[in-house]
């Protein structure tokens, strides 16, 4: 459970901003979205490999 202490006279907008930031850090939305669409482990591995190849390609281009 996320608790956002509000000081006396503190703006409600600021408290909402703190709440949103804390909620985003927990990763709840990210996890829900990933669970919504199941992805096979082999597909995850393939995507991770493609991303690694892409990043390595970018680094090689940067060196040249």
Q: What is the per-residue pLDDT across 16-64, written as a single tens digit (0 to 9) for each?
A: 999 999 999 998 888 998 899 899 999 999 999 999 999 999 999 999 8
Asked, for residue 5, whether it belongs to a domain, the answer is no
* Distance spanning both ends of the chain, measured CA to CA: 50
Asked, for residue 1, whether it belongs to a domain, the answer is no
Asked, for residue 6, whether it belongs to a domain, the answer is no
Query: How many domains are there within the chain?
Result: 1
**pLDDT at position 46:** 98
Joined tokens for residue 12: 């409600």
Asked, for residue 2, whether it belongs to a domain, the answer is no
**pLDDT at position 13:** 92
pTM equals 0.50
Domain that holds residue 35: 12-63
In our burial notation (b when 16+ CB lie closer than 10 A, e otherwise), range 9-29 reads eeeeeeeeeeeeeeeeeeeee
């Amino acid at each position: 459970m996320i608790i956002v202490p509000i000081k006396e006279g503190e703006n409600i907008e600021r408290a909402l901003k703190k709440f949103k930031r804390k909620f985003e850090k927990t990763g709840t939305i990210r996890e829900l979205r990933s669970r919504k669409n199941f992805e096979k482990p082999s597909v995850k591995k393939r995507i991770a490999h493609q991303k690694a190849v892409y990043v390595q390609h970018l680094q090689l281009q940067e060196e040249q």
